[in-house]
Structure 1
Amino acid sequence: MILLYVTLLYAVSRALALSVTILDHNQMLILALFVYAAVSGLVSLAIPWLLLSLYFTRIRSTNVSRRNHALKQLGITITDNLRLVGFFHPYCNAGGGGERVLWTAIALFQRNEPDVVPVVYSGDIDATKEEILAKVKARFDIALDPTKIILVFLRHRKLVEDSTWPFFTLLGQSIGSMFLAWEAMNKLIPDLYIDTMGYAFTFHVVTWVANIPSGAYVHYPTISTDMLRRVQSRQRGHTNSNAISSSYILSSAKLMYYRFFMYYYSSSLRSAVFLMVNSSWTKNHVDSVLSHSDPFIDFLHFFVPPLLILRYLTSQNKSPVASSRIVYPPCDTREMAKFPLTNREKVIVSVAQFRPEKEHATQLYALHELVTRHPVYRVQGKEVKLAMIGGSRNEEDASRVANLRSLAKELELEDRVEFLVNAPYADMLLQLSRASIGMNTMVDEHFGINVVEYMAAGVIPVVHASAGPLNDIVVPFNGMPTGYHAKTSKEFAEVLHTALSLTSEEDSAIRERARTWAAKRFSEGEFEKGWDGSGWKRWL
């Protein structure tokens, strides 16, 4: 509280010093009354803050019994060296690339860190621990020891779902994630907290409640300078609807909302003690957020006491992270590398969760363009088919799958498109072993672990010309191409035709190059080296 009042006095003095030069006598009087009211209000916050501090202390003191109970249930002997590392991943049962990172990291802990017990905070209350680990084995072929992992189930995951926040979605989900982190810390406090889903605002809750260090593996920044620029230039996009981009007033209001959000998101990321990112694109954006400043919002803090309090509460970390470290996601290239490179069928595969940003509709339009422009692919024996493989997390995803089926029918492609929803790992491997091409149409795909899987399996990647697939994955190897890039459905159709028209020598060569590059750069071994070098150990 003393620090809070010192900060307040400093802010008041700064505000008064600035006001002398820009306000007249009457405005000065109004400001003085405002400051008096604000200070009086802050004094009245002393008792609630004291009660909160006592509440947080109680949670920490009672955590010992909860911790010992969880360990005894697993049959683990409690020693002084034993440490718990918590992974905040409310959708741990989703079966996507982010989940592969989570479970590969936990498998690494189980193999190499005998004194560390992983704790996964999951919102999958409709599944048991055994069912979740069985799906991990089926989807990723990762075998985990259930006696060396704790699953803590969170009952309020709906608070971080898009559907819960139709307006101010970023803010709503961030507030929801803070409540979810509060629920997590109430149930079990680890020795180190790692967010693996992109909920940076939870760091503050973990600091307040648990007083432990926080780190993260960032797949995608919650907000970026690109998003601010798109709103400022009134560019329509996935995160900027036509209703807002066409209105100057709404665009200006949204820009201010984004500026405030970026300011506090930057503060949240800086409160981490280490940050891993999955690609050079993500690193550039995260490092940009870490160094972000907004003089206007800084100035507002000296006139709006609630903002001053918020700033104080979100800047408590004494060892803030300065930059992020690239740790490429793991890909199990060993099994896929056994697939033959020849005698592939004219099958295009798409491996991606049925989320809106994955742009699955673009794939259907591209296939329609391909068979329209090149009728040879309609001829029996030469027809091209598309296999869409992906996880469906909830009702919204299921609805998207239904819409895609309707679109395929509308484009007269229903006989050429197969949907494999929540398919087991073995089925995905079967599709990759026979397919010729793998397609990824997401704009600014932060990394694209599915693209690495295409290449490891000897499937020619055809990807969107942006972010991870462009800059990190589908890049020349020994000066020669490892795949193709496109942006529009028409461009995708043309590069699909190019890939399908290669001579047998060109076809084998590009598949071999892609596989060699994937195995060399994106193996589980490379991921483990990066994870171990991230600096997480010294915070235990």
Structure 2
Amino acid sequence: MSVLGILIPVSFVLLSVCAALLDRRKSAQRSRVLASLGLSKPKDSSGKLKFVGFFHPYCNAGGGGERVLWAAVAHMQRNDPDVISVVYTGDTDATKEEIISKAKSRFDVTLHPGTLHFVFLDSRKLVEDKAWPHFTLLGQSLGSMVLGWEAMTKFIPDLFIDTMGYAFTFPVVALLSLFTIGSIQVPIGAYVHYPIIHGDMIARVKGRKQWHTNTNRIANSEMLSFGKILYYRFLLYYYSLSLRQASFIMVNSSWTQNHANAILNHSDKTLDWLHHLMPILGLLKLFLGYTWFSHRTRTKEVNAAGQREARIVYPPVEPKEMVKFSLEDREKVILSLAQFRPEKDHPTQLRAFAELLKTHPETGNNAVKLVLIGGCRNAEDEARVEALKKLARELDIENKVEFILNAPYSDMLRWLSRASIGLSTMIDEHFGINVVEFMAAGLIPVAHESGGPLKDIIVPYNGERTGFHATTPTSFAQALHNALSLSKEEDKAIRERARTSAVQRFSEEEFVRGWELSGWRKWL
């Protein structure tokens, strides 16, 4: 008998054994979850209980991405009482009760513990920046694969939805079907807030532009810039293969959709050619992009040109409290709502505020104040806040700047009801849920002229202005001055337009409608 004649039946037997073991493990996992929830055997219309897994390692962070997660879970709990939501998280320092409580206090989202289960992951450190001081994106991508494997060993869902942006977990989930000859199939969905790599990032490296993802050392070196372009091309290629594993993809804005569509339909002939020369790369491509599972079960959402396409589902803002706020007699407060992460570019806010006071000293006499409210996830975020406080002292504005960390939802609402201007300085903000909150609460938004705030949010309403855009500290200072100098009539009119525009387009009802149109139900 030939070697091939032996290997084929042996492989089939091994895979069959693996399938049986995984199937038993899956049943045992579900029994334990049901017992922990105090449930017996609730049934859906097909006679089977369904489990939807949400992969969100930082579910307790309190940012815009977490609002999307909890809005989706709450919607399922209201409309699908026999579907169990399973959240994979690395927040091992918090209990289930504490996470649910924070969702209520931060977002006013009520979650029912009876149909919500948390799978706590121990290897989240592998997706943190500090774990990969060099080649951070590649390291985090590989780390997410380990994290995804830990998630699947602890619980196998009926549907896997990544709501945080870890597309490299998709091939790991798809691998279950390969191991079990298709007896365990876990369809994959995604809500993409921000692509980990995209064309703009590569363009900045090519243009030798310094950025928080492109240090001066690299930007000033032709050789290092060339090497980083190759690195980005490599990462983009495999990111595209991984993202294609998803059966349905939702994105949060036009900006994200444009980049996601480009990534989904991306090709690189040089890397394709290398696969023929390097068998290891060929196996990597097979694993990330062309598993047996993906060909058997995946359908593709395509446009008229036959290209894969993501669907825009705007994040929800619940404005029922915010729309009650008066549009008149606002305090001279410039409010920032953003987690203290590097990309939010808080230093530009401080420099713009200092420029405003310098070029328009009368503003300072009017008791204007800058308030920065944001979440701190870890020690690195706390260190950034300390650096910002130091910068405020250097700019001689510390007496007019206030930092508020990890504020509860009630405190955030209180500031939104008082403040006059909402400030956001992030470049290429994928959406900008904070800007929508500004508008719904009646603030005049001033945001960077890029991404979601430019294309989706601060757009004309009935042909008239709803806010201001800027790009540099100087232009932000001028935009802030313009917003503070409006006549009483125009001030109220722009607030009314901004509020109406935000409430009509970014409500929770619109989010739920878009979530349903994604087609997630058919995969159950």
Same fold? TM cut 0.5? yes
User: What does 1:43-122 correspond to in 2, within 5 Å?
Assistant: 55=18, 58-78=21-41, 79=43, 80-122=47-89
Q: Could you tell me how far apart the structure 1 residues matched to 2:14 and 2:349 are?
A: 56
Where does structure 1 differ by over 6 angstroms across 4 or more consecutive aligned residues?
46-53
| Contact 1:182 1:209 (C-alpha < 8 Å) held by counterparts | no
Q: Could you tell me how far apart the structure 2 residues matched to 1:179 and 1:422 are?
A: 30
Match of 2:147 in 1: 180
Alpha-carbon displacement from aligned partner over 1:386-405 (angstroms, at most 9, x marks no partner): 11000000010000011111
Match of 1:497 in 2: 481
| Contact 1:287 1:323 (C-alpha < 8 Å) held by counterparts | yes
DSSP 3-state at the match of 1:415: helix
DSSP 3-state at the match of 2:65: helix
DSSP 3-state at the match of 2:277: coil
Match of 1:393 in 2: 377
Q: Could you tell me how far apart the structure 2 residues matched to 1:503 and 1:533 are?
A: 43
Q: Could you tell me how far apart the structure 2 residues matched to 1:487 and 1:47 are?
A: 63
Alpha-carbon displacement from aligned partner over 1:100-141 (angstroms, at most 9, x marks no partner): 000000000000112211100010000000001001100001
Alpha-carbon displacement from aligned partner over 1:60-80 (angstroms, at most 9, x marks no partner): 431111111101221223233
Q: 1:218 aligns with which of 179, 189, 192?
A: 192
Q: Are residues 47 and 123 of structure 1, via their aligned partners in 2, closer, same or farther at CA, if it must alter by over 3 Å?
A: farther
Amino acid at match of 1:181: G
| Mapped pair 1:405 → 2:389 | yes
Q: 1:235 aligns with which of 191, 209, 217?
A: 209
Q: Are residues 353 and 53 of structure 1, via their aligned partners in 2, closer, same or farther at CA, if it must alter by over 3 Å?
A: farther
| Contact 2:322 2:441 (C-alpha < 8 Å) held by counterparts | yes
Q: Could you tell me how far apart the structure 1 residues matched to 2:378 and 2:10 are?
A: 43
Q: Could you tell me how far apart the structure 2 residues matched to 1:81 and 1:475 are?
A: 46
User: What does 1:229-268 correspond to in 2, within 5 Å?
Assistant: 229-268=203-242
Match of 1:360 in 2: 346
| Contact 1:462 1:496 (C-alpha < 8 Å) held by counterparts | yes
Q: Could you tell me how far apart the structure 2 residues matched to 1:163 and 1:49 are?
A: 42
- Comparing 483-492 with 204-213, which one deviates more in the overlay? 204-213
Amino acid at match of 1:227: M
| Contact 1:193 1:213 (C-alpha < 8 Å) held by counterparts | yes
Match of 1:420 in 2: 404
| Mapped pair 1:124 → 2:83 | no
Q: Could you tell me how far apart the structure 2 residues matched to 1:186 and 1:520 are?
A: 43
TM-align CA RMSD: 1.9
| Contact 1:81 1:115 (C-alpha < 8 Å) held by counterparts | no
Q: Are residues 51 and 414 of structure 1, via their aligned partners in 2, closer, same or farther at CA, if it must alter by over 3 Å?
A: farther
| Contact 1:198 1:218 (C-alpha < 8 Å) held by counterparts | yes
Q: Could you tell me how far apart the structure 2 residues matched to 1:234 and 1:416 are?
A: 36
User: What does 1:317-396 correspond to in 2, within 5 Å?
Assistant: 317-318=294-295, 319=298, 321=300, 322-379=308-365, 382-396=366-380
DSSP 3-state at the match of 2:167: coil
State the shift of 1:320 in Å.
5.1
Q: 1:195 aligns with which of 119, 142, 162?
A: 162
| Contact 1:84 1:117 (C-alpha < 8 Å) held by counterparts | yes
Alpha-carbon displacement from aligned partner over 1:276-333 (angstroms, at most 9, x marks no partner): 0000000000000011000010001111011111111221212253210000000011
Amino acid at match of 1:188: F
DSSP 3-state at the match of 1:201: helix
| Contact 1:60 1:209 (C-alpha < 8 Å) held by counterparts | no
State the shift of 1:483 in Å.
0.2
| Contact 1:137 1:143 (C-alpha < 8 Å) held by counterparts | yes
DSSP 3-state at the match of 1:217: strand
Which of the pair has more CA radius of gyration?
A: 1
DSSP 3-state at the match of 2:31: helix
State the shift of 1:209 in Å.
2.7
| Contact 2:253 2:431 (C-alpha < 8 Å) held by counterparts | yes
If the length of structure 2 is used for normalisation, what is the TM-score? 0.92
| Contact 1:56 1:208 (C-alpha < 8 Å) held by counterparts | no
Match of 1:136 in 2: 103
| Mapped pair 1:460 → 2:434 | no
Q: Are residues 50 and 500 of structure 1, via their aligned partners in 2, closer, same or farther at CA, if it must alter by over 3 Å?
A: farther
Unpaired segments of 5 or more residues in structure 1?
6-42
Match of 1:526 in 2: 510
Unpaired segments of 5 or more residues in structure 2?
178-184, 301-307
Match of 2:455 in 1: 471
Alpha-carbon displacement from aligned partner over 1:230-274 (angstroms, at most 9, x marks no partner): 222322222111111221221121111111111110001111000
If the length of structure 1 is used for normalisation, what is the TM-score? 0.89
Q: Could you tell me how far apart the structure 2 residues matched to 1:157 and 1:491 are?
A: 40
| Contact 2:81 2:115 (C-alpha < 8 Å) held by counterparts | no
Query: Structure 1 vs Structure 2: percent identity of aligned residues?
Result: 58
Q: Could you tell me how far apart the structure 1 residues matched to 2:10 and 2:269 are?
A: 32
User: What does 1:424-435 correspond to in 2, within 5 Å?
Assistant: 424-435=408-419
State the shift of 1:50 in Å.
8.8
DSSP 3-state at the match of 1:386: strand
State the shift of 1:368 in Å.
0.2
Q: Could you tell me how far apart the structure 1 residues matched to 2:176 and 2:352 are?
A: 50
Match of 1:281 in 2: 255
| Mapped pair 1:208 → 2:182 | no
Q: Could you tell me how far apart the structure 1 residues matched to 2:285 and 2:437 are?
A: 43
DSSP 3-state at the match of 2:125: helix
State the shift of 1:452 in Å.
0.3
Q: Could you tell me how far apart the structure 2 residues matched to 1:496 and 1:256 are?
A: 41
Q: Could you tell me how far apart the structure 2 residues matched to 1:199 and 1:47 are?
A: 35
Q: Are residues 365 and 67 of structure 1, via their aligned partners in 2, closer, same or farther at CA, if it must alter by over 3 Å?
A: same
State the shift of 1:49 in Å.
11
- How many residue pairs match? The answer is 497
| Contact 1:88 1:195 (C-alpha < 8 Å) held by counterparts | yes
Q: Are residues 53 and 366 of structure 1, via their aligned partners in 2, closer, same or farther at CA, if it must alter by over 3 Å?
A: farther
Q: Are residues 233 and 51 of structure 1, via their aligned partners in 2, closer, same or farther at CA, if it must alter by over 3 Å?
A: farther
